[in-house]
Structure 1
Amino acid sequence: MSELEKSAPNVYVRPVLGSTRKAFMLAIFCFAEFMDAFIASALFPAINQMNSALKLGTNESTWIFAAYSATFAAFLLISGRIADIYGSKWCFLVGAALVGIFSLGCGFCDNKVALFVLRAMSGIGAAMTVPSGLSLIVEWFPDPVEQNRGIAFFGGAGAIGNVLGVVIGGFCVQWASWRWTFWVTTCMGVPIALITIPLVPASAPRPNKPSLRRLDLGGVSLITASIILFIFAVTSGSATGWGQAKVIAPLIISVFLASIDPHMAALPPRVWFYPNVPILAALGLIPFFWWVALFYSFMPLFEADYHWSAVSTSVHMLPAGTFSILVAGIASKLVEYVNPKWTILGGLTLDIIATFLLPFANSRERYWSYIFPAFAIGTMGNMIVYTNANIAIFMNTPPEIAGIVGAVFNCALQGAIALGVAILASIASSENAKQIAKGREPGYKGIADGFWFVLAFLLVEAIALLVFYRIPKASAGDEEKAASSASTVAVEVPEKKAQADGVS
């Protein structure tokens, strides 16, 4: 034991990491976020092959996406709690390993029920990597500039995963098979887990001793069940109709379960009292909702109506993500000069302009005049919203609850995928039924109506941001940060010195 530890038993010796190691750590965190987005978007080009191979009906195919999104969203809160209480490193690497292992199983599936189950298990693994990854960035990049940049790159990796997933999935479908869309994920998840073990240092000890009681298994189980039932209800409603008992009953039960958490430890109420957290969480509904609207609407249109190949379709979708790369680094620096309220509003404005073009993109001849500029403008705006809302929610909360805060924001992101697919499917099927009843071809009208809904949603979010976002006079959570630091003092020493003293 070192002299420092003998004199102050509560002192935590934090190793000072070199810039190269920190860069590799950030790359691993971002690669995990890339993988989580990739595993969802890569299946869009594969859906027709999977429907044929597994004999899936049109309604059943939505569960390939919903099973993953449901467990992803539902387990984010418990994953955030685990990361905050037990440490983020092991939560992160176990999650990455689970994604890789269950994706391997998905690739060998010849039964649709088994595929749905393994997709749901993959969602649990993915849920473990996101709050813990964000928490590790907050912990090991304490400098505000580095931290904001790290969070921006983390979000940018998800955006890149969305678009490259579509492209790589298209190549897999055209030149191999749909099974490789899962096996490529395995080739990412398992190495991420193995590299994390030696690369990422142990986290600082928690002020309170970890225990199952602090985790509040009862509370997190209620919230998890509530989210799963809610997503099941909205997904089933879009597929089979909203007036059925199997839709109404889960919807009512989900609301009831969400209201009876006895200890509120799974999602502490104090989270909502930090400045601007509710409106920032609501803004989390936008980015993935907007992207999934593009993929869900245009990919079947490009393949079925325009008769483009899977690769050609994927290439035409590239602007929906690649332009986010151009603004990912800039978006993280904006908060140094402009309050996040105004940068987010600027991003929303770009989203609104782009979405206004999409209802008129009703033919392949309008790809370059309407679809391409909408993809380019909208994805840049979306990236600005995503990055700055993500940064702002951590700026307004203390680092001790970074896991649960990251879980709340990402729960909104993932829940928006299931909600987006359900809403767009309902709008399109309703309009298509009307057109068929009149003896007409469904055409583009159902897709256009879906984008009018997205536009209305963006306008409501922009108004809510203007009305409810408050620019704080001082940094939030200062008192809590000071109280936390009083219980455990963190002293930084060079990493080699820490290891020599036997400190992990």
Structure 2
Amino acid sequence: MPEPAPAPRARTTPPADATPGTTPDITPDGSTDGTSAPDRRSSTVLWIACAAQFMVVLDVSIVNVALPQVRDSLGLSPAGLQWIVNAYTLGFAGLLLLGGRLADLIGAKRAFTSGLAAFTTASLVCGLAGNGPLLIAARATQGVGGAMLAPATLTLIMTTFTEPRARTRAMGAWSAVMAAGGAAGAVLGGVLTQYAGWRWVFFVNVPIGMVLVVAAVRSVPVGQRPRAGRRLDLPGALTVTLGLTLLTYGIVATETHPWGAPQVWAPVAAALALLTAFAVIEARTAQPLVPLTILRRPVLVLANATVFALGAAMFAMWFLLSLYFQQVLLWDPLRAGLAFVPGALAIIAGARIATRLIGRTGARPLMVLGTAVSTAGFGWLSQITADGSYTTDVLPPFVLCTLGLGLATMPLTVAATAGSRPEEAGLASGLVNTSRQVGGALGLAALASVASHTAASHGGPAAQAATAGYGRALLAAAAFTTVAALLALALPGPRAARG
């Protein structure tokens, strides 16, 4: 039997006007308005949520190192190979907002287990796929399952850990796991591809997913029942999902088509029309998918915009460095994967530092510091050369990029979800995850296009041309993190928040 939960405090959730500059339940010296250790069930919920989030984020990057083997095994064209990555991104980014709202409407536990079951089943189909179309379709289904699962993990944490210090630590662990998933995916993908074959980058999810489903059914509490009369805003869900999907599709198309091509501007124009329709629907419906009043919170809007800009830079970094290691330095998948280990460690270190300091500094200084450190790292990393040394030319700036990501991620999540009522937890989670994933998808497509066009116009040897493209794209990533730093700086400080 689990130990009895501690008696609730008088105030267990941040007030509606909470801001990241104050982190209202945490005093300047790091103490809180009460202390209570989470019981064993809470610790189990945290473990389950973090493991599931790690698996979802892992699948964004684990496939990159395996792509050459997939191409040779299934006889895919370059365009088909590209869609193995993009099908997952489209399904994931396009449905995250809907997935977050589902957690509020049907309950976090049901959304979590349903998304996890869909993700695990799709992973099995990916590993068994004998042709490109089936693999691409299964990858899209993986993305749909991940879109239900990812917001539910954060919702479970927000509704399980109500005491301020416990919630801060839990969100720190979630943020570290989420941020390290990208780097760990490259490492694990390299090991599995080298020694077990590309199919195991998908099969590895199956036993993990099965264990997590059983653990969630047994250990995750049902939580509050959804209020009677609540229903899903289907018109809003359809317009925002199709709009985000078409926007991502249009940007992805720039890798193979110029910006003026119909394959690019037609889906982008349709996406803008659908997103405009979504705003009109949300303003008029009685039970909107995204109440527009939530967008009147400056902290939430600025924090999500910062998450978007930071995600645009970071997703591209994993992809570009993976190509640089294998196509320019001619490393095998295992060596390329191991090169990302220091980045994963730096992310975890940054997240731990942020978790310890946020009670004394508030969220804003850590966000500004983290994004500034990442900007310096990207500026340095953009100077890579075709005959560069990993130890001197790549490792130091790479560690700066990832350390900054670790410092900024947890405070950004705190800021983006501050002031959310329990019935809005899934929506707030969906918004921050949507900002991160859509930013990553659009940033990856845009920066890959920069790299491709720069390399094509270089005119030198292939390795030098490719490196010039990667360098230009990484410099553009520094511009994204600069924007993130400026947005973080614009967030209200402690004095303004109190006013």
TM-score category by the smaller chain? 0.7 to 0.9
- Report which stretch shifted further, 456-465 or 84-93: 456-465
Structure 1, unaligned runs of 5 or more:
1-15, 477-504
Residue 247 (structure 2) pairs with residue 230 (structure 1)? yes
What is the match of residue 49 of structure 2? 29
- What is the CA–CA distance in structure 1 between the aligned matches of 2:474 and 2:294, rounded to whole Å? 33
TM-score (normalised: structure 2):
0.87
Per the alignment, residue 233 of structure 2 pairs with 216
Which of 291, 294, 318 lines up with 2:314 in the alignment?
291
Counterpart residue number, 2:355: 332
**Paired residue for 1:313, among 336, 343, 349?**
336
Q: Give, as a single letter, the amino acid of the residue that structure 1 aligns with 2:243.
A: S
Query: CA offset at residue 51 of structure 1?
Result: 1.4
1:175-194 mapped onto 2 (5 Å cutoff): 175-194=195-214
User: In the alignment, does 2:137 pair up with 1:117?
Assistant: yes
Q: Aligned partners of 1:249, 1:471: CA distance in 2, in Å? A: 45
State the alpha-carbon separation in 2 of the partners of residues 302 and 469 from structure 1: 41
- What does residue 22 of structure 2 align with? none
In structure 1, give the amino acid aligned to 2:338: V
1:283–1:461 CA contact under 8 A, matched in 2: yes
**Residue in structure 1 matched with residue 18 of structure 2 by the alignment:** none
Aligned residues: 458
Q: 1:230 to 1:302 in 2, by over 3 A?
A: same
- With the length of structure 1 as denominator, give the TM-score of the two structures: 0.86
- Which amino acid in structure 2 is aligned with residue 194 of structure 1? V
**Does the alignment pair 1:369 with 2:392?**
yes
Equivalence map 1:19-418=2 (5 Å): 19-206=39-226, 208-211=227-230, 214-261=231-278, 262-264=281-283, 265-418=288-441
**Quick one: structure 1 residues 169 and 360, their matched pair in 2 at CA, closer, same or farther if it must change by over 3 Å?**
same
C-alpha change, 1:370 and 1:445, in structure 2 (3 Å) is same
Q: Flag the 1:268–1:394 CA change in 2: closer, same or farther, 3 A.
A: same
Q: Structure 2: which 5+ runs fail to align?
A: 1-35
Aligned-residue offset at 1:460:
2.2
**What displacement does 1:400 show?**
2.4
Q: CA deviation at 1:475?
A: 8.0
**What is the alpha-carbon distance in structure 2 between the residues aligned to residue 154 and residue 64 of structure 1?**
27
Tell me how far apart the structure 2 counterparts of residues 437 and 166 of structure 1 sit (CA, whole Å): 29
Residue 330 (structure 1) shift: 2.5
- The Cα shift of 1:470 comes to 5.2
Shift of 1:441: 5.1
Cα offset, 1:312, TM superposition: 0.8
Counterpart mapping for 1:478-489 below 5 A: none
1:205 offset after TM fit, Å?
2.4
More displaced 10-residue stretch of structure 1: 385-394 or 440-449: 440-449
Please tell me the root mean square deviation across aligned C-alpha atoms, in Å.
2.1
Aligned residue type for 1:370: D
- Decide whether the 8 Å contact of 2:100 with 2:428 is kept in 1: yes
Larger radius of gyration: 1
Deviation per CA, 1:284-341, whole angstroms, max 9, x where unpaired? Answer: 1244433322221121221222221111111112122221112322212322111211
Measure the CA separation in 2 of the matches of 1:31 and 1:168: 15
Report SS of the residue matched to 1:240. coil
Task: Give how far 1:366 is off.
Answer: 2.9
Q: State the alpha-carbon separation in 2 of the partners of residues 421 and 344 from structure 1.
A: 22
- Overall identity of the aligned pairs, in %: 26
